[in-house]
Amino acid sequence: MVQIGYTMMTEQAGPRELVAHVVGAERAGFDFSVTSDHYFPWLESQGHASYAWSVLGAAAQATERIPLMTYVTCPTTRYHPAVVAQKAATMQLLSEGRFRLGLGSGENLNEHVVGGGWPAAHVRLARLEEAVEIIRFLFAGENVNHHGAHFDVENAQLWDLPDAPPPIGIAVSGDRSCELAGHHADLVIATEPKPELIAAFDGHGGEGKPKVGQLPICYDPDRDAAIARAHDQFRWFGSGWPVNSELPGPAAFEGATQFVRTEDVAGSIPCGDDVQAVVEAVRPYVDAGFTEVALVQIGGDHQEPYLEWAEHKLLPALREL
């Protein structure tokens, strides 16, 4: 049975609201939760971008059962990998073992703020691989001195370590990232239900490990209102990773998506209150081999009715997949 997750999307709600929403998701019966880690929203209409790690710490204290996960953190630019290791170890302690560290090579949208430029994709992946190795050494309790191609670590050691380190997930979008994930990750992360990604991950050592996908939906009893909201806040989603990872800010996403029509969004994102439409949108992930799917309800102000609908109608239907 595929597990169904809830997404705390930091781009569309403030920090206190995000914590309240994940408390509601736990109550509604979601199997796990994930949290985006952004410095900017994709579009100005989303309107938020709080610090994900503070939100996660508060969520760990406000919830009791639901697993927490970054989806995803870039440990190479805004954050140094030694600092990410410390944050993740602390989160594992605060959550009493409910945390997973999802990592990715990042987006220009968020990483440009520290002024280091935005390298080519192959350099970003090389940085990610080195960062994961540093994090693993620190999770093992080692005193780390590292002078690599991309990072220096001087006499680093974690003083508060959980009994079991957080599992590490790596986001993939192509062959090279699947190879990296297969060799270094405890689970794989993807935002598209592509069987070839799962096959490549398995082929590089990922067989039997969790596969976590993500799917945006827009619940609203008024389908036209749902479509309008999805177009307003989520029309960037269909641009694909090669585009989304490169654009530098919300204004660039506004320009890149100015010709996306409402019917384009309605054709790619389940909108309204049709449970079966969501079930059919989740099915390709299941068929591709994903073991978990995190749903994103579009609209920070529309989480409470969504959670009630999910508890009583959506989750029971998805349990039958």
The C-alpha angle 266, 267, 268, rounded to 5 degrees, equals 95
Among 74, 21, 78, 9, which Cα is nearest to 47's?
9
Catalytic residues: 38, 107
Please give the helix or strand (H or E) that residue 100 lies within, else none.
strand 99-103
In the numeric block, the tokens 């990604």 are attached to 197
Task: Give the C-alpha separation, 289 to 84, whole Å.
Answer: 29
Task: Give the C-alpha separation, 101 to 198, whole Å.
Answer: 19
Q: Is 171 helix (H, G, I), strand (E, B) or coil?
A: strand
Query: In whole angstroms, how far apart are CA 11 and each of 65, 250, 310?
Result: 24, 11, 21
- Main-chain dihedrals φ then ψ at residue 67, nearest 5 degrees: -65, 150
Q: Give the up-direction half-sphere exposure of residue 179: CA atoms within 13 A in the CB hemisphere.
A: 6
Query: In whole angstroms, how far apart are CA 65 and each of 33, 195, 235, 321?
Result: 10, 31, 33, 23
Assigned token pair, 48: 């938020």
The answer to whether 18 and 44 have CB atoms below 8 angstroms apart is no
Locate all alpha helices (DSSP H) within 29-157, ordered by sequence.
Answer: 52-62, 81-94, 108-111, 121-139
> What does 240-281 look like in DSSP terms, one character per residue?
-HHHHTT--SHHHHHHHTTT--HHHHHHHS-EES-HHHHHHH
Length of the chain in residues, anyone? 321
- Strands 32-35, 3-8: pairing is parallel
Assigned token pair, 321: 């997949």
Amino acid occupying residue 267: G
Any residues with CB less than 8 A from the CB of 20 and at least 6 apart, and which?
none
